[in-house]
Amino acid sequence: MNLSTTIAGVTFPSCFMNAAGALCVTREELEALGRSAAGAIVTKSMTIEARHGNPEPRYYGFSGGSINSMGLPNLGYRAYAELIPQLKRFGKPVIASVAGLTEDDFPTIAELINVAQPDLIEVNLSCPNIPGKPQIGYDPDASERVLKKVRPKITVPMGVKLPPYFDPAHHQVMGTMLGRCGVDFLNLINSVGNGLVVDPERETVVIKPKGGFGGLGGRLIKPVALANVRAFYKFFGERMPIIGTGGVIDGGDAFEHFLCGASAVQVGTVLVEEGLDAFQRLEAELGAVLHRKGYRSIQDCRGRLKEL
């Protein structure tokens, strides 16, 4: 069964990869991804300076999903610029995820990271867990300013990681804007921001930052992720590769993302909960689904979701 895929002209040996934030902060974690069955190495979303992130506990898994408020812990962009050439020895694509605490941070980070020549650069406009910092991805004007500053700094394919949108008008506005900015691929979606999980026995929230509010991930957000993948696939058609992120716990979940129009999928919650062996399990499960359905590759089923 062929589980390889291509995004913006870059070939991935497997359609499964880590989501930025999941076991990808340190050199050791990134090298472990390189040795794993993952189809790529995706870095943590990086900022100008190194960050310890929010106070702990800042991640909590529960039945059906997870909540986190990590606060972008990362090594800082200079450290990742040094690491990227070393990570390429593993023979799989490296995706550098670029973040920023201000609009001007993005082009500064992108310019140096581009020199390190990752295979793709993902501009993260959607981190929901920085206290006092709104998600740029919910402001189309700010998003366009950032992308137009970043695009000239990047010579490799540039993608954008977006937050979930909940109205067709938002898909239309953002799709139109992205079409003006030279975007090569989309990553949909980041965690669903500002959820709250309560421990009724202790009568407390379950994470410390922001009074317990955090980004939701895991299976409970799959319908939202699928809706965004489908909406943007219908907007752009075949000309915009999409990485589906959100709710991929087993191979069947990945198959649903491909039906909706994704070209690859990223995993977060299942990777944190299960570890790197999850990639082999997911590949086997997806392969079994495709075989049962009579498909020989993910390209054969991409975007073939039927409407009633």
When pLDDT is cut at 50, 70 and 90, the band that residue 1 belongs to is confident
Q: How far apart are CA 81 and CA 98, in angstroms?
A: 11
Model's pTM, two decimal places?
0.97
Edge-to-edge strand order for the sheet containing 192-196?
59-62, 65-68, 213-217, 192-196
- pLDDT tens, 104-122? 999 999 999 999 999 999 9
- pLDDT tens, 174-227? 999 999 999 999 999 999 999 999 999 999 999 999 999 999 999 999 999 999
When pLDDT is cut at 50, 70 and 90, the band that residue 128 belongs to is low
The residue ranges of every structural domain in the chain are: 5-56+67-194+217-301
Per-chain mean pLDDT for the chain? 97
Confirm if 15 and 4 have CB atoms less than 8 A apart.
yes
- 3-state per-residue secondary structure call for the chain: CECCEEECCEEECCCEEECCCCCCCCHHHHHHHHHCCCCCEECCCECCCCECCCCCCCEEEECCEEEECCCCCECCHHHHHHHHHHHHHHCCCEEEEECCCCCCHHHHHHHHHHHCCCCEEEEECCCCCCCCCCCHHHCHHHHHHHHHHHHHHCCCCEEEEECCCCCHHHHHHHHHHHHCCCCCEEEECCCEEEEECEECCCCEECCCHHHHEEEEECHHHHHHHHHHHHHHHHHHHHHCCEEEECCCCCHHHHHHHHHHCCCEEEECHHHHHHCCCHHHHHHHHHHHHHHHHCCCEHHHHCCCCCCC
Torsion over CA: 130, 51, 45, 223 (sign): negative
Tell me: pLDDT of 133 over 80.
no
Tell me: pLDDT of 129 over 80.
no
Active site residues: 127
Q: How far apart are CA 73 and CA 47, in angstroms?
A: 9
- pLDDT tens, 42-75? 999 999 999 999 999 999 999 999 999 999 999 9
The domain 5-56+67-194+217-301 is placed in CATH, from the list 3.20.20.70, 3.40.50.970, 3.40.50.10860, 3.40.1350.10, at 3.20.20.70
- The pLDDT of 3-30, averaged and rounded, is 98
- pLDDT tens, 231-254? 999 999 999 999 999 999 999 999
| Residue 96 phi, psi dihedral angles, 5° rounding | -95, 125
CA 131 centroid distance within chain: 20
- The pLDDT of 126-140, averaged and rounded, is 83
Predicted local distance difference test score (pLDDT) of residue 265: 98
Q: CA 30 → CA 17, 42, 85, 287, 303, distances in Å?
A: 12, 8, 12, 26, 31
- How many residues are present in the chain? 308
Predicted local distance difference test score (pLDDT) of residue 134: 81
